[in-house]
Structure 1
Protein backbone atom coordinates (compact mmCIF):
# COMPACT_ATOMS: atom_id res chain seq x y z
CA UNK A 1 0.00 0.00 0.00
CA UNK A 2 1.09 3.54 -0.72
CA UNK A 3 1.05 4.55 2.97
CA UNK A 4 3.14 1.56 4.10
CA UNK A 5 6.34 2.24 6.01
CA UNK A 6 8.54 1.21 3.09
CA UNK A 7 6.62 3.37 0.63
CA UNK A 8 6.78 6.39 2.95
CA UNK A 9 10.49 5.95 3.54
CA UNK A 10 11.14 5.59 -0.20
CA UNK A 11 8.98 8.63 -0.89
CA UNK A 12 10.96 10.70 1.61
CA UNK A 13 14.28 9.55 0.17
CA UNK A 14 13.20 10.45 -3.35
CA UNK A 15 11.77 13.78 -2.19
CA UNK A 16 15.07 14.61 -0.48
CA UNK A 17 16.98 13.69 -3.65
CA UNK A 18 14.78 16.03 -5.70
CA UNK A 19 15.09 18.83 -3.15
CA UNK A 20 18.90 18.60 -3.14
CA UNK A 21 19.18 18.49 -6.92
CA UNK A 22 20.37 14.88 -7.23
CA UNK A 23 18.00 14.61 -10.19
CA UNK A 24 17.91 17.87 -12.17
CA UNK A 25 14.61 19.38 -13.41
CA UNK A 26 13.57 17.95 -16.78
CA UNK A 27 15.80 14.87 -16.55
CA UNK A 28 14.71 11.25 -16.60
CA UNK A 29 14.99 9.21 -13.42
CA UNK A 30 16.72 5.82 -13.36
CA UNK A 31 14.46 2.88 -14.19
CA UNK A 32 12.16 1.59 -11.46
CA UNK A 33 14.25 -1.58 -11.19
CA UNK A 34 17.40 0.49 -10.57
CA UNK A 35 15.64 2.66 -8.00
CA UNK A 36 14.31 -0.43 -6.23
CA UNK A 37 17.85 -1.82 -5.97
CA UNK A 38 19.17 1.57 -4.85
CA UNK A 39 16.68 1.85 -1.96
CA UNK A 40 16.47 -1.87 -1.18
CA UNK A 41 12.70 -2.12 -1.77
CA UNK A 42 10.35 -3.69 -4.29
CA UNK A 43 9.38 -2.11 -7.61
CA UNK A 44 5.80 -1.80 -6.35
CA UNK A 45 7.04 0.24 -3.40
CA UNK A 46 9.07 2.47 -5.72
CA UNK A 47 6.10 2.90 -8.06
CA UNK A 48 3.88 3.96 -5.17
CA UNK A 49 6.43 6.56 -4.04
CA UNK A 50 6.85 7.85 -7.59
CA UNK A 51 3.07 8.08 -7.99
CA UNK A 52 2.77 10.19 -4.86
CA UNK A 53 5.47 12.58 -6.08
CA UNK A 54 3.68 12.81 -9.43
CA UNK A 55 0.44 13.74 -7.64
CA UNK A 56 2.35 16.57 -5.96
CA UNK A 57 3.56 17.82 -9.34
CA UNK A 58 7.21 17.01 -8.71
CA UNK A 59 7.47 14.14 -11.20
CA UNK A 60 5.90 13.34 -14.56
CA UNK A 61 5.28 9.92 -16.10
CA UNK A 62 5.77 9.65 -19.87
CA UNK A 63 4.31 6.49 -21.39
CA UNK A 64 7.06 4.32 -22.82
CA UNK A 65 9.83 6.66 -21.60
CA UNK A 66 9.74 6.49 -17.81
CA UNK A 67 9.65 9.04 -15.01
CA UNK A 68 10.90 12.60 -15.40
CA UNK A 69 11.59 15.36 -12.88
CA UNK A 70 9.08 18.16 -13.44
CA UNK A 71 10.91 21.08 -15.09
CA UNK A 72 11.15 24.55 -13.64
CA UNK A 73 8.15 26.46 -14.99
CA UNK A 74 8.59 30.15 -15.65
CA UNK A 75 5.78 32.59 -16.21
CA UNK A 76 5.42 36.30 -16.65
CA UNK A 77 3.37 38.26 -14.12
CA UNK A 78 0.28 39.73 -15.76
CA UNK A 79 0.75 43.18 -17.33
CA UNK A 80 4.38 43.42 -16.14
CA UNK A 81 7.33 43.65 -18.53
CA UNK A 82 9.88 41.38 -16.88
CA UNK A 83 13.13 40.10 -18.36
CA UNK A 84 14.18 36.46 -18.25
CA UNK A 85 16.90 37.40 -15.77
CA UNK A 86 14.37 39.11 -13.51
CA UNK A 87 12.03 36.09 -13.70
CA UNK A 88 14.87 33.80 -12.59
CA UNK A 89 15.93 36.03 -9.71
CA UNK A 90 12.31 36.38 -8.55
CA UNK A 91 12.26 32.59 -8.11
CA UNK A 92 15.61 32.43 -6.35
CA UNK A 93 17.22 30.78 -9.39
CA UNK A 94 20.43 31.59 -11.25
CA UNK A 95 19.85 32.70 -14.86
CA UNK A 96 22.26 31.34 -17.46
CA UNK A 97 22.82 32.44 -21.03
CA UNK A 98 25.08 30.94 -23.70
CA UNK A 99 25.62 33.07 -26.80
CA UNK A 100 25.30 31.07 -30.03
CA UNK A 101 25.30 34.00 -32.48
CA UNK A 102 26.32 37.66 -32.13
CA UNK A 103 26.70 39.30 -35.52
CA UNK A 104 25.92 42.34 -37.65
CA UNK A 105 23.87 41.70 -40.78
CA UNK A 106 21.37 43.45 -43.09
CA UNK A 107 17.79 43.61 -41.81
CA UNK A 108 15.16 41.61 -43.62
CA UNK A 109 12.27 43.54 -45.16
CA UNK A 110 9.96 42.41 -42.34
CA UNK A 111 12.47 43.44 -39.66
CA UNK A 112 13.09 46.83 -41.28
CA UNK A 113 9.35 47.47 -41.41
CA UNK A 114 8.83 46.55 -37.75
CA UNK A 115 11.82 48.60 -36.59
CA UNK A 116 11.04 51.57 -38.82
CA UNK A 117 14.46 51.48 -40.51
CA UNK A 118 15.55 51.53 -44.13
CA UNK A 119 15.45 48.20 -45.99
CA UNK A 120 18.69 46.25 -45.50
CA UNK A 121 19.86 48.63 -42.75
CA UNK A 122 22.39 46.97 -40.48
CA UNK A 123 21.09 45.21 -37.38
CA UNK A 124 22.70 43.30 -34.54
CA UNK A 125 21.45 39.72 -34.22
CA UNK A 126 21.94 37.90 -30.92
CA UNK A 127 20.92 34.26 -30.43
CA UNK A 128 21.23 32.81 -26.94
CA UNK A 129 20.38 29.55 -25.19
CA UNK A 130 18.90 30.51 -21.83
CA UNK A 131 18.34 28.54 -18.67
CA UNK A 132 17.80 28.60 -14.92
CA UNK A 133 20.15 26.74 -12.58
CA UNK A 134 21.69 24.97 -15.62
CA UNK A 135 18.29 23.75 -16.86
CA UNK A 136 17.71 24.88 -20.45
CA UNK A 137 14.43 26.80 -20.76
CA UNK A 138 14.44 28.58 -24.12
CA UNK A 139 16.21 29.70 -27.28
CA UNK A 140 16.16 33.50 -27.49
CA UNK A 141 16.69 35.43 -30.75
CA UNK A 142 16.96 39.24 -30.61
CA UNK A 143 17.40 41.80 -33.39
CA UNK A 144 18.27 45.46 -32.75
CA UNK A 145 19.08 48.35 -35.14
CA UNK A 146 22.85 48.80 -35.21
CA UNK A 147 22.31 52.56 -35.11
CA UNK A 148 21.21 52.28 -31.47
CA UNK A 149 22.90 49.04 -30.38
CA UNK A 150 26.47 49.41 -31.66
CA UNK A 151 27.66 49.32 -28.03
CA UNK A 152 26.57 45.68 -27.84
CA UNK A 153 28.43 44.39 -30.89
CA UNK A 154 31.49 43.24 -28.92
CA UNK A 155 29.89 43.08 -25.47
CA UNK A 156 30.10 39.86 -23.48
CA UNK A 157 26.45 38.84 -23.14
CA UNK A 158 27.09 35.50 -21.44
CA UNK A 159 24.81 35.12 -18.41
CA UNK A 160 23.69 38.75 -18.76
CA UNK A 161 20.38 40.55 -19.26
CA UNK A 162 20.21 42.08 -22.74
CA UNK A 163 17.75 44.71 -21.48
CA UNK A 164 20.20 45.74 -18.74
CA UNK A 165 23.15 45.81 -21.13
CA UNK A 166 21.16 47.85 -23.65
CA UNK A 167 20.43 50.42 -20.96
CA UNK A 168 23.95 50.46 -19.51
CA UNK A 169 25.90 50.51 -22.77
CA UNK A 170 23.53 52.28 -25.15
CA UNK A 171 21.41 54.44 -22.85
CA UNK A 172 18.15 52.86 -24.03
CA UNK A 173 15.50 51.60 -21.61
CA UNK A 174 12.73 49.45 -23.03
CA UNK A 175 9.52 50.82 -21.54
CA UNK A 176 6.90 48.72 -23.30
CA UNK A 177 6.65 45.47 -25.21
CA UNK A 178 4.02 44.27 -27.67
CA UNK A 179 3.94 40.52 -27.04
CA UNK A 180 2.23 37.60 -28.75
CA UNK A 181 2.39 33.85 -28.08
CA UNK A 182 1.71 30.92 -30.39
CA UNK A 183 2.37 27.18 -30.35
CA UNK A 184 4.73 25.15 -32.53
CA UNK A 185 6.52 21.81 -32.39
CA UNK A 186 10.28 21.39 -32.25
CA UNK A 187 12.14 20.47 -35.42
CA UNK A 188 15.41 18.55 -35.25
CA UNK A 189 17.61 21.64 -34.82
CA UNK A 190 15.50 23.26 -32.10
CA UNK A 191 14.96 19.93 -30.33
CA UNK A 192 18.71 19.40 -30.15
CA UNK A 193 19.31 22.83 -28.67
CA UNK A 194 16.54 22.58 -26.07
CA UNK A 195 17.24 18.96 -25.19
CA UNK A 196 13.79 17.65 -26.13
CA UNK A 197 12.42 15.17 -28.65
CA UNK A 198 11.53 16.15 -32.21
CA UNK A 199 7.86 17.16 -32.21
CA UNK A 200 7.99 18.39 -28.60
CA UNK A 201 5.48 21.22 -27.91
CA UNK A 202 7.07 24.67 -28.08
CA UNK A 203 5.63 28.04 -27.08
CA UNK A 204 6.93 30.92 -29.17
CA UNK A 205 6.88 34.43 -27.74
CA UNK A 206 7.31 37.26 -30.25
CA UNK A 207 7.88 40.79 -28.99
CA UNK A 208 8.56 44.29 -30.20
CA UNK A 209 10.26 46.43 -27.54
CA UNK A 210 9.70 50.19 -27.43
CA UNK A 211 11.56 52.99 -25.68
CA UNK A 212 9.88 56.10 -24.30
CA UNK A 213 8.15 57.96 -27.10
CA UNK A 214 7.07 54.78 -28.86
CA UNK A 215 10.21 54.07 -30.91
CA UNK A 216 10.74 50.35 -31.62
CA UNK A 217 14.31 49.27 -30.82
CA UNK A 218 14.10 45.51 -30.32
CA UNK A 219 12.58 42.46 -31.99
CA UNK A 220 12.59 39.27 -29.96
CA UNK A 221 11.56 35.70 -30.71
CA UNK A 222 11.82 33.23 -27.86
CA UNK A 223 11.21 29.49 -28.24
CA UNK A 224 10.26 28.02 -24.85
CA UNK A 225 9.97 24.36 -23.98
CA UNK A 226 6.23 23.84 -23.68
CA UNK A 227 6.69 22.19 -20.28
CA UNK A 228 8.71 25.09 -18.90
CA UNK A 229 6.71 28.24 -19.62
CA UNK A 230 3.36 29.69 -18.67
CA UNK A 231 1.91 32.95 -20.02
CA UNK A 232 -0.45 35.00 -17.86
CA UNK A 233 -2.55 38.04 -18.71
CA UNK A 234 -5.21 40.20 -17.12
CA UNK A 235 -8.35 40.27 -19.27
CA UNK A 236 -11.09 42.85 -18.75
CA UNK A 237 -14.61 42.73 -20.12
CA UNK A 238 -15.67 46.13 -21.53
CA UNK A 239 -18.53 47.88 -19.77
Structure 2
Protein backbone atom coordinates (compact mmCIF):
# COMPACT_ATOMS: atom_id res chain seq x y z
CA UNK A 1 0.00 0.00 0.00
CA UNK A 2 1.02 3.68 -0.28
CA UNK A 3 1.35 3.90 3.51
CA UNK A 4 3.80 0.98 3.58
CA UNK A 5 5.83 2.50 0.73
CA UNK A 6 6.11 5.85 2.58
CA UNK A 7 7.15 3.97 5.67
CA UNK A 8 9.92 2.22 3.68
CA UNK A 9 11.17 5.55 2.29
CA UNK A 10 11.30 7.10 5.78
CA UNK A 11 13.35 4.15 7.01
CA UNK A 12 15.76 4.58 4.11
CA UNK A 13 16.16 8.33 4.79
CA UNK A 14 16.87 7.69 8.48
CA UNK A 15 19.49 5.09 7.55
CA UNK A 16 21.11 7.55 5.17
CA UNK A 17 21.33 10.19 7.93
CA UNK A 18 22.71 7.61 10.35
CA UNK A 19 25.39 6.54 7.85
CA UNK A 20 26.43 10.18 7.32
CA UNK A 21 26.84 10.67 11.09
CA UNK A 22 28.71 7.41 11.41
CA UNK A 23 31.16 8.34 8.68
CA UNK A 24 32.18 11.44 10.65
CA UNK A 25 33.79 9.28 13.40
CA UNK A 26 37.53 8.43 13.31
CA UNK A 27 36.74 4.71 13.48
CA UNK A 28 34.70 4.82 10.30
CA UNK A 29 37.32 6.88 8.50
CA UNK A 30 39.94 4.22 9.16
CA UNK A 31 37.71 1.39 7.93
CA UNK A 32 36.58 3.04 4.70
CA UNK A 33 39.75 3.13 2.63
CA UNK A 34 38.58 2.22 -0.87
CA UNK A 35 35.37 4.26 -1.00
CA UNK A 36 34.79 7.94 -0.29
CA UNK A 37 31.95 8.96 1.97
CA UNK A 38 29.82 10.11 -0.92
CA UNK A 39 30.25 6.88 -2.86
CA UNK A 40 29.48 4.74 0.17
CA UNK A 41 26.32 6.70 1.04
CA UNK A 42 25.11 6.64 -2.56
CA UNK A 43 25.82 2.93 -2.84
CA UNK A 44 23.73 2.11 0.23
CA UNK A 45 20.98 4.55 -0.75
CA UNK A 46 20.76 3.02 -4.24
CA UNK A 47 20.55 -0.43 -2.67
CA UNK A 48 17.62 0.60 -0.47
CA UNK A 49 16.00 2.41 -3.36
CA UNK A 50 16.15 -0.83 -5.35
CA UNK A 51 14.47 -2.63 -2.46
CA UNK A 52 11.66 -0.06 -2.50
CA UNK A 53 11.20 -0.44 -6.24
CA UNK A 54 11.13 -4.21 -5.77
CA UNK A 55 8.45 -3.78 -3.07
CA UNK A 56 6.29 -1.68 -5.41
CA UNK A 57 6.72 -4.23 -8.19
CA UNK A 58 5.79 -7.01 -5.76
CA UNK A 59 2.50 -5.27 -4.90
CA UNK A 60 1.61 -4.94 -8.58
CA UNK A 61 2.54 -8.56 -9.26
CA UNK A 62 0.45 -9.69 -6.29
CA UNK A 63 -2.67 -8.09 -7.76
CA UNK A 64 -1.98 -9.78 -11.08
CA UNK A 65 -1.44 -13.17 -9.43
CA UNK A 66 -4.79 -12.98 -7.64
CA UNK A 67 -6.51 -12.56 -11.00
CA UNK A 68 -4.47 -15.39 -12.49
CA UNK A 69 -5.42 -17.71 -9.60
CA UNK A 70 -9.01 -17.67 -10.80
CA UNK A 71 -7.89 -19.11 -14.13
CA UNK A 72 -5.46 -21.54 -12.49
CA UNK A 73 -8.27 -22.87 -10.29
CA UNK A 74 -10.25 -23.87 -13.36
CA UNK A 75 -7.22 -25.62 -14.84
CA UNK A 76 -6.61 -27.45 -11.57
CA UNK A 77 -10.19 -28.71 -11.52
CA UNK A 78 -9.64 -30.20 -14.96
CA UNK A 79 -6.36 -31.78 -13.87
CA UNK A 80 -7.86 -33.28 -10.71
CA UNK A 81 -9.97 -35.71 -12.71
CA UNK A 82 -6.91 -36.86 -14.65
CA UNK A 83 -5.00 -37.27 -11.39
CA UNK A 84 -7.80 -39.36 -9.89
CA UNK A 85 -7.86 -41.57 -12.98
CA UNK A 86 -4.09 -41.99 -12.79
CA UNK A 87 -4.45 -43.03 -9.15
CA UNK A 88 -6.95 -45.70 -10.16
CA UNK A 89 -4.59 -46.94 -12.86
CA UNK A 90 -1.71 -47.20 -10.39
CA UNK A 91 -3.91 -49.04 -7.89
CA UNK A 92 -5.07 -51.54 -10.49
CA UNK A 93 -1.50 -52.03 -11.73
CA UNK A 94 -0.28 -52.67 -8.18
CA UNK A 95 -3.00 -55.28 -7.67
CA UNK A 96 -2.06 -56.93 -10.95
CA UNK A 97 1.64 -57.05 -10.03
CA UNK A 98 0.88 -58.52 -6.61
CA UNK A 99 -1.32 -61.18 -8.13
CA UNK A 100 1.35 -62.10 -10.68
CA UNK A 101 3.97 -62.49 -7.97
CA UNK A 102 1.72 -64.79 -5.92
CA UNK A 103 0.58 -66.85 -8.91
CA UNK A 104 3.40 -66.92 -11.42
CA UNK A 105 1.80 -69.68 -13.48
CA UNK A 106 -1.43 -67.78 -14.07
CA UNK A 107 -1.91 -65.01 -16.59
CA UNK A 108 -3.96 -62.01 -15.51
CA UNK A 109 -5.57 -59.39 -17.73
CA UNK A 110 -6.51 -56.12 -15.99
CA UNK A 111 -8.84 -53.66 -17.69
CA UNK A 112 -7.59 -50.16 -16.97
CA UNK A 113 -10.39 -47.57 -16.89
CA UNK A 114 -10.01 -44.50 -19.07
CA UNK A 115 -10.79 -40.91 -18.10
CA UNK A 116 -13.88 -41.02 -20.31
CA UNK A 117 -15.35 -44.02 -18.45
CA UNK A 118 -14.68 -42.96 -14.83
CA UNK A 119 -17.51 -41.25 -12.96
CA UNK A 120 -17.91 -40.10 -9.35
CA UNK A 121 -20.87 -40.95 -7.11
CA UNK A 122 -22.94 -37.86 -6.29
CA UNK A 123 -24.81 -39.59 -3.42
CA UNK A 124 -24.87 -42.84 -1.46
CA UNK A 125 -26.91 -45.52 -3.21
CA UNK A 126 -28.48 -48.72 -1.88
CA UNK A 127 -29.74 -51.19 -4.50
CA UNK A 128 -33.46 -51.53 -5.08
CA UNK A 129 -33.03 -54.46 -7.45
CA UNK A 130 -30.76 -57.50 -7.42
CA UNK A 131 -28.87 -56.46 -10.56
CA UNK A 132 -27.87 -53.05 -9.12
CA UNK A 133 -24.74 -52.29 -7.07
CA UNK A 134 -24.32 -50.16 -3.97
CA UNK A 135 -21.83 -47.30 -3.62
CA UNK A 136 -21.02 -44.33 -1.42
CA UNK A 137 -20.83 -40.62 -2.16
CA UNK A 138 -17.46 -39.73 -3.71
CA UNK A 139 -16.77 -43.32 -4.79
CA UNK A 140 -15.33 -43.77 -8.28
CA UNK A 141 -17.19 -45.97 -10.74
CA UNK A 142 -16.20 -47.25 -14.16
CA UNK A 143 -19.05 -47.09 -16.67
CA UNK A 144 -19.03 -49.86 -19.29
CA UNK A 145 -22.08 -48.84 -21.30
CA UNK A 146 -24.02 -45.56 -21.34
CA UNK A 147 -25.20 -45.64 -24.96
CA UNK A 148 -28.51 -47.44 -24.49
CA UNK A 149 -30.74 -46.68 -21.51
CA UNK A 150 -29.77 -43.20 -20.28
CA UNK A 151 -31.30 -43.82 -16.83
CA UNK A 152 -29.44 -47.05 -15.99
CA UNK A 153 -25.81 -47.65 -16.89
CA UNK A 154 -23.79 -50.81 -16.52
CA UNK A 155 -20.52 -50.49 -14.66
CA UNK A 156 -18.47 -51.44 -11.63
CA UNK A 157 -17.21 -49.90 -8.42
CA UNK A 158 -13.46 -49.23 -8.44
CA UNK A 159 -13.55 -49.63 -4.65
CA UNK A 160 -15.48 -52.87 -4.12
CA UNK A 161 -15.11 -54.32 -7.61
CA UNK A 162 -18.85 -55.10 -7.73
CA UNK A 163 -20.44 -54.99 -11.19
CA UNK A 164 -24.04 -54.20 -12.09
CA UNK A 165 -26.50 -51.47 -12.99
CA UNK A 166 -25.94 -47.88 -11.82
CA UNK A 167 -28.61 -45.13 -11.85
CA UNK A 168 -27.12 -42.43 -14.07
CA UNK A 169 -28.54 -39.51 -12.07
CA UNK A 170 -26.44 -40.64 -9.09
CA UNK A 171 -23.11 -40.15 -10.86
CA UNK A 172 -21.27 -37.35 -12.64
CA UNK A 173 -18.06 -36.69 -14.54
CA UNK A 174 -16.34 -33.36 -15.08
CA UNK A 175 -15.24 -34.54 -18.50
CA UNK A 176 -18.83 -35.41 -19.46
CA UNK A 177 -20.05 -32.07 -18.07
CA UNK A 178 -17.66 -30.19 -20.35
CA UNK A 179 -18.81 -32.32 -23.28
CA UNK A 180 -22.43 -31.43 -22.47
CA UNK A 181 -21.49 -27.75 -22.36
CA UNK A 182 -19.90 -28.13 -25.78
CA UNK A 183 -23.15 -29.74 -26.94
CA UNK A 184 -25.46 -26.89 -25.84
CA UNK A 185 -23.11 -24.36 -27.43
CA UNK A 186 -23.19 -26.24 -30.73
CA UNK A 187 -26.96 -26.71 -31.16
CA UNK A 188 -29.58 -24.12 -32.06
CA UNK A 189 -31.66 -24.68 -28.94
CA UNK A 190 -32.05 -26.95 -25.92
CA UNK A 191 -35.19 -28.06 -24.11
CA UNK A 192 -34.45 -26.35 -20.79
CA UNK A 193 -34.88 -22.53 -20.71
CA UNK A 194 -32.15 -22.00 -18.10
CA UNK A 195 -29.61 -23.78 -20.31
CA UNK A 196 -30.85 -21.88 -23.34
CA UNK A 197 -30.20 -18.68 -21.39
CA UNK A 198 -26.64 -19.76 -20.59
CA UNK A 199 -26.12 -20.64 -24.24
CA UNK A 200 -27.28 -17.22 -25.47
CA UNK A 201 -25.51 -15.25 -22.75
CA UNK A 202 -22.99 -12.73 -24.05
CA UNK A 203 -20.44 -13.47 -21.31
CA UNK A 204 -17.09 -15.15 -21.98
CA UNK A 205 -16.74 -18.90 -22.48
CA UNK A 206 -15.07 -19.23 -19.07
CA UNK A 207 -18.02 -17.50 -17.40
CA UNK A 208 -20.47 -19.68 -19.33
CA UNK A 209 -18.60 -22.82 -18.24
CA UNK A 210 -18.60 -21.74 -14.59
CA UNK A 211 -22.32 -20.92 -14.64
CA UNK A 212 -23.16 -24.15 -16.47
CA UNK A 213 -21.25 -26.38 -14.03
CA UNK A 214 -22.79 -24.59 -11.06
CA UNK A 215 -26.29 -25.00 -12.53
CA UNK A 216 -26.12 -28.73 -13.29
CA UNK A 217 -24.38 -29.51 -9.98
CA UNK A 218 -27.25 -27.88 -8.09
CA UNK A 219 -29.87 -29.83 -10.07
CA UNK A 220 -28.98 -33.45 -11.03
CA UNK A 221 -32.35 -33.83 -12.82
CA UNK A 222 -31.21 -31.15 -15.24
CA UNK A 223 -28.15 -33.11 -16.30
CA UNK A 224 -30.38 -36.14 -16.96
CA UNK A 225 -32.57 -34.02 -19.24
CA UNK A 226 -29.49 -32.68 -21.00
CA UNK A 227 -28.19 -36.22 -21.50
CA UNK A 228 -31.54 -37.04 -23.08
CA UNK A 229 -31.22 -34.07 -25.46
CA UNK A 230 -27.72 -35.12 -26.44
CA UNK A 231 -28.79 -38.75 -26.87
CA UNK A 232 -31.66 -37.76 -29.17
CA UNK A 233 -29.42 -35.33 -31.04
CA UNK A 234 -26.95 -38.08 -31.81
TM-score by length of 2: 0.23
Which has the higher Rg, Structure 1 or Structure 2?
2
Q: Which has the higher strand share?
A: 1
* Greater relative contact order structure (CA < 8 Å, 6+ sep): 1
Q: Which has the higher helix share?
A: 2
TM-score by length of 1: 0.22
